[in-house]
Amino acid sequence: MTVIAVLTVGREAVAGLNEPTYAIDSPTAGILAHGEYLVQGRMGPESSFLIGVRVGFKSRIHVGVSFGLQNVISYEDVRSNDQPGFQVSLRLIEEARGPALAVGFNSQGVGIYDEVEERYERKSRGLYAVLSKNWSVWVGQFSIHGGVNYSFEDADGDDEPNVFGAAGWEVFHGLELVVDADAALNDNSGDDRFGGGGMYIDAAVRVTYGENLSLMLIFRDLSENYESQRNVGRELEISFVDLF
């Protein structure tokens, strides 16, 4: 499962909560401020855990690392992902009248890493470019994010570029509704283990507490595109952010 950044705080610990660095799985053009660090933990189906840390530099770039475990609370043996995930994001253009632009790399996919197929259940983003724009609307704030990516998990021969998008509606301060879509153009072979040939659609409710803590309840794969399950999964993420 993919690490998602859901909380940022400004340099003076003011509400930078309107600039998420990730929606659910899709990256945004949001960047952690200089000296900020973000610690995230996600709990999902099959007693899976994903832990990640990110650090911001110069309010222009952030880097991170993540690691996943399965069967943590179980009679079965604990399993770990074959390798950690690495993230880096660089904002090239600030949001003004037009959208913000960021480029980056993320090797952390969604779900268990399959050593035989050399891929996650959902492929990692790999290299990506993303545009983000935020508006004040009649009720709260509304943001849209969209981009293209190329995953290096191409051992299955499905190596086309992909597109993704997300939207967030902060109904009021402390409560946000999020929708995230992955076209999965690089995973549309329709095999009987991974993508069913369609897109992935996820949704989430995010609640923030003060300036440092957020909880997000994720409803995974509303489109039921994951062949092995064909059901909606549920995950819980806890994120904490602060300044060094």
CATH number, residue 137? 2.40.160.40
Give the domain range for residue 222: 36-243
**Number of separate domains in the chain:** 1
Q: What's the alpha-carbon Rg for the chain, to the nearest Å?
A: 17
Q: In the structure, what pLDDT confidence band is assigned to residue 230 with cuts at 50, 70 and 90?
A: low
> pLDDT tens digit string along 61-120?
999 999 988 888 877 888 888 789 999 999 999 998 899 999 999 999 998 888 888 889
**Does residue 7 sit within a domain?**
no
pTM of this structure: 0.87
**Does residue 40 sit within a domain?**
yes
> Which of 67-81, 122-136, 187-201 has the lowest average pLDDT?
187-201
Query: Percent of the chain, pLDDT > 90?
Result: 58
**Does residue 28 sit within a domain?**
no
Q: Contact 100/29 with Cβ under 8 angstroms? A: yes
How far apart CA 11 and CA 83 sit, in angstroms, is: 33
> pLDDT tens digit string along 212-224?
899 999 999 898 8
Give the residue carrying structure tokens 């401020």.
33
CA angle 72, 64, 12 (to 5 degrees): 115
